[in-house]
Structure 1
Amino acid sequence: MRETLTTALDLMFGHEGGYVNNPKDPGGATKYGITHRTLAAHRGVASVTPAQVKALSKAEAIEIYRRSYWVQSGGDLLPVGIDFMAFDYGVNSGPAQAVKSLQRVVGVTADGIVGGQTVAAVNAYKGDLIDAYAAERLRFMRTLKTWPTFGRGWQKRVSAVVSQARHIIRGMQPTTDAPSHSAKANPKDQSITETLKKPEAWASIGGLLSGLGGMASGTGPMQWALAIIMVGAFATGAYFLIKRMQDQAA
């Protein structure tokens, strides 16, 4: 583990407050930025109660951050500064989303895994990667249905992360904000409109429409009945297709 992880953890607790359970926050019951789902997964149980989340110790939260976020976000592989940005993004939106956004910025396959190709592209990037990465993170956040509710807080968080990353790169001690919970920016909360902008969505829906059209072609009562059934099947298929694509974005 890098020594800078200690700084990253201190800054993380500056972005994440104590226990909250905001019904509008998709993360649900959360403490130190650790959601009830993450805590349950860490403990190897199906679920935990809000009371168990509230009782989460800072020591256990640090262990979760080390094992489930720092490494998965590329913390030990990415350049100093960018490692912190990916870590913070990963805590807020999931490590895979954080890495995919970075990969899109540097122009490599967005598979959500930090490997040699991603590290090389990051090191070879021409321009201000801190600003570019922050801009991509905000672009993603604006596609979420929860942006109108939490967007202002997210903007403040990203702005603080940019400043802190620059301090880390210069070897300076970054300013740690007073803890204030930031709602989760979950990739699964992308709007249907945003999901349908993706080429793969229209390719899949187009194929589904073509297949249904062939099945319902012709005239007569049987064909009309079949057409009605196919419309229902299309609506169901399109719904699950969109849900699958939103899940894959996470």
Structure 2
Amino acid sequence: MTGQNFDACLDFVRTAEGGYSSDPKDPGNWLQDEKGRKETLIGSRYGVSALMLASWMAPRTVTPDDMRNLDLDTFDAIARSRFWNPLACSALPPGLDLMVFDYGWNCGVHASASLLQRMLGVTMDGAIGPYTLAALAQADVADILPQIDPDNLTILHTRLGLPPSSGIGQEVKRALARQQGMEMLLVLVFSGMQEREYRLRAGFRRWGRGWLARTKRRTETALALVSAAANRQENPYQA
């Protein structure tokens, strides 16, 4: 388990979200009054919503200039305290940390934690604590592998050097064991679960293409983090 990927994960979120946006059609750019009506167009930056920044800056009133001028240190602090730490990302394997963190940033901490718990077969209370982490540490390929979707199974076969017809039988399980592939498997299974969840969301018709593209980039980056961690383990003295 590692917490050293925070900077890489944060860079992914910042790049995926982009800079300042004042799109009036995005509800995340608005502050609302006590009756839930759109009141002030604040905008967003790096994916920090108007409500999130208002909560962070309370009791001072947030303005559009505050959002436009949001600095990286504040972004870092919000991400760490509101997402990375609540999702226990420092205790997650490399690659899975990004998958949980970025999905949480995009869809909410509770949604990301609950999805991870569903994959692990534990109570979906939306809070990653000792029980969930213990289940993750004890996760077995035989329980995780059947949850993989066909597209990600193809990716798994390719990365294991197996033919597409390999299925999810003993050949795949032996290859995963030889290559210490549990982290890769967790990323690919969780990726498919996230895609299915996105397709069920109310805004999928409008935002779905972007959500799925982000999931693909998230998965590719997470797999690169898995590979980098494996390389560090094999070559601990490599600069």
Q: TM-score, normalised by structure 1?
A: 0.64
Match of 1:131 among 168, 188, 192: 188
Point out the structure with max Rg over C-alpha: 1
Determine if the alignment matches structure 1 residue 4 to structure 2 residue 18.
Answer: no
Number of aligned positions between the proteins:
172
Higher RCO (CA-CA < 8 Å; seq separation 6+): 1
Q: CA deviation at 1:103?
A: 0.7
**Alignment deviations for residues 122-150 of structure 1 (CA, whole Å, 9 cap, x no partner):** 23142322122112212222222211111
Report the counterpart of residue 224 of structure 1 in structure 2: none
| SS class of match (1:30) | coil
Determine if the alignment matches structure 1 residue 157 to structure 2 residue 217.
Answer: no
Match of 1:31 among 45, 58, 62: 45
CA distance in 2 between counterparts of 1:118 and 1:47 reads: 38
Report the counterpart of residue 94 of structure 1 in structure 2: 108
CA distance in 1 between counterparts of 2:110 and 2:59 reads: 22
Structure 2 counterpart of 1:23, which letter?
P
| SS class of match (1:170) | helix
Describe the shift of the 1:162–1:107 C-alpha distance in structure 2 as closer, same or farther (beyond 3 A): same
CA distance in 2 between counterparts of 1:24 and 1:134 reads: 28
CA distance in 2 between counterparts of 1:26 and 1:92 reads: 14
Describe the shift of the 1:144–1:47 C-alpha distance in structure 2 as closer, same or farther (beyond 3 A): farther
Describe the shift of the 1:14–1:101 C-alpha distance in structure 2 as closer, same or farther (beyond 3 A): same
Report the counterpart of residue 169 of structure 1 in structure 2: 226
Q: Is the 8 A contact 1:74 1:86 kept in 2?
A: no
CA distance in 1 between counterparts of 2:77 and 2:90 reads: 16
CA distance in 1 between counterparts of 2:97 and 2:105 reads: 12
CA distance in 2 between counterparts of 1:148 and 1:26 reads: 16
CA distance in 2 between counterparts of 1:62 and 1:121 reads: 29
Q: Runs of 4+ in structure 1 displaced over 6 angstroms? A: none
Q: Is the 8 A contact 1:84 1:165 kept in 2?
A: yes
CA distance in 1 between counterparts of 2:58 and 2:140 reads: 39
CA distance in 1 between counterparts of 2:113 and 2:207 reads: 22
CA distance in 2 between counterparts of 1:117 and 1:125 reads: 16
Describe the shift of the 1:151–1:97 C-alpha distance in structure 2 as closer, same or farther (beyond 3 A): same
CA distance in 2 between counterparts of 1:171 and 1:163 reads: 12
Determine if the alignment matches structure 1 residue 67 to structure 2 residue 59.
Answer: no
Q: Is the 8 A contact 2:18 2:45 kept in 1?
A: yes
The gaps in structure 2 that reach 5 residues or longer are 30-42, 146-184, 230-239
Structure 2 counterpart of 1:96, which letter?
H
Q: CA deviation at 1:6?
A: 1.4
**Alignment deviations for residues 137-181 of structure 1 (CA, whole Å, 9 cap, x no partner):** 122222222111110000010001111111111117xxxxxxxxx
Q: TM-score, normalised by structure 2?
A: 0.67
Structure 1 vs Structure 2: percent identity of aligned residues?
Answer: 32
Match of 1:103 among 109, 113, 117: 117
Q: CA deviation at 1:2?
A: 2.3
| SS class of match (1:169) | helix
